[in-house]
């Protein structure tokens, strides 16, 4: 797959590296430090490169991994995303893990992911990766003993969700379909609670969320 990473922070860098390692073509973009961006692309392997925001947006699949305050500016700068699969792990949490995601969008009754869908209505938005930590993504393995953490994902397009599920597996996680994009309201609240629990219990970041099946 051709994947554009918008946001070269810990989440974007970590996921991009894993996808490049799995053989996907990855374009890293949107960093305040161009030298760092090029070093990231070089370290990710031969299937990765650095590019502009527009280069990343030209790929078939785009990961949005930016801070919430930058979101609208980024989406205005990428041009058309019609028909693209857009994975979002955008969170309203602050760097010190305070705050809430729900209610930070333009409508208090919606979610960040739904707001993204409103801003790019012809894209196929899927929310994923908001219930894991960048430190786990960057670690040598996602495995906890004999278990792999679950990643809940949601979206309105069935085909896009299946592609995202495959990409989740490529990263060493178990994908769990949580339903349509409306469920992002719950997932974002869950993600906030999960992060804040991990920090307050002093288990951060060595903690994985697992959906058990019988």
Q: What is the mean pLDDT of the chain?
A: 92
- Which residues make beta-bridge pairs with 88? 64, 127
pLDDT of res. 108: 47
pLDDT on residue 105: 44
Rounded CA-CA distance 155/122 in Å is 13
How much is the pLDDT for 203? 93
Q: Which of 23-27, 57-61, 82-86, 186-190 has the lowest mean pLDDT?
A: 186-190
Ramachandran sector of residue 76 (left: φ over 0; alpha: ψ -120 to 50; beta: rest): alpha
In this structure, what are the phi and psi dihedrals at residue 150, rounded to the nearest 5 degrees? -95, 145
pTM over 0.75? The answer is yes
Residue 112, judged by CB atoms within 10 A of its CB (0-12, 13-18, 19+), counts as buried
Instruction: Return the closest-CA partner of residue 11 out of 73, 85, 63.
Output: 63
If one compares 160 and 185, the residue with the highest pLDDT of the two is 160
Kindly tell me if the per-residue pLDDT of 192 is higher than 90: no
Note the pLDDT of residue 179: 98
Question: Using one digit for the tens of pLDDT, what is the confidence trace for 104-144?
Answer: 444 446 889 999 999 999 999 999 999 999 999 999 999 99
**Domain extent listing, the chain:** 2-200
**Phi-psi bin for 111: left (phi > 0), alpha (psi -120 to 50), beta?**
beta
Q: Which residues contact 197 (CB under 8 A, 6 or more apart)?
A: none
Q: Which fold is adopted by the domain 2-200?
A: Rossmann fold (3.40.50)
Name the band, by pLDDT with cuts 50, 70 and 90, for residue 103. very low
Residue percentage of the chain with pLDDT more than 70: 93
């Amino acid at each position: 797959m051709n994947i554009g990473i918008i946001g070269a922070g810990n989440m974007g860098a970590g996921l991009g590296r894993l996808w490049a390692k799995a053989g996907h073509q990855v374009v890293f973009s949107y960093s305040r430090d161009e030298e760092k961006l090029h070093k990231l692309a070089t370290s990710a392997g031969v299937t990765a490169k650095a590019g502009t925001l527009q280069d990343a947006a030209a790929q078939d699949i785009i990961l949005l991994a930016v801070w919430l305050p930058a979101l609208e500016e980024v989406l205005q700068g990428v041009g058309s995303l019609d028909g693209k699969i857009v994975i979002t792990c955008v969170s309203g949490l602050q760097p010190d893990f305070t705050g809430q995601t729900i209610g930070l969008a333009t409508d208090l009754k919606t979610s960040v992911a739904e707001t993204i869908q409103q801003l790019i209505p012809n894209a196929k938005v899927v929310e994923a990766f908001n219930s894991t930590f960048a430190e786990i993504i960057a670690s040598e393995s996602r495995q906890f003993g004999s278990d792999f953490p679950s990643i809940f994902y949601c979206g309105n397009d069935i085909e896009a969700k299946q592609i995202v599920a495959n990409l989740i597996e490529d990263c060493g996680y178990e994908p769990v379909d949580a339903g349509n994009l409306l469920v992002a309201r719950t997932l974002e609240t869950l993600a906030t609670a999960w992060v804040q629990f991990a920090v307050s219990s002093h288990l951060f970041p060595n903690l994985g969320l697992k959906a058990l099946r019988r």
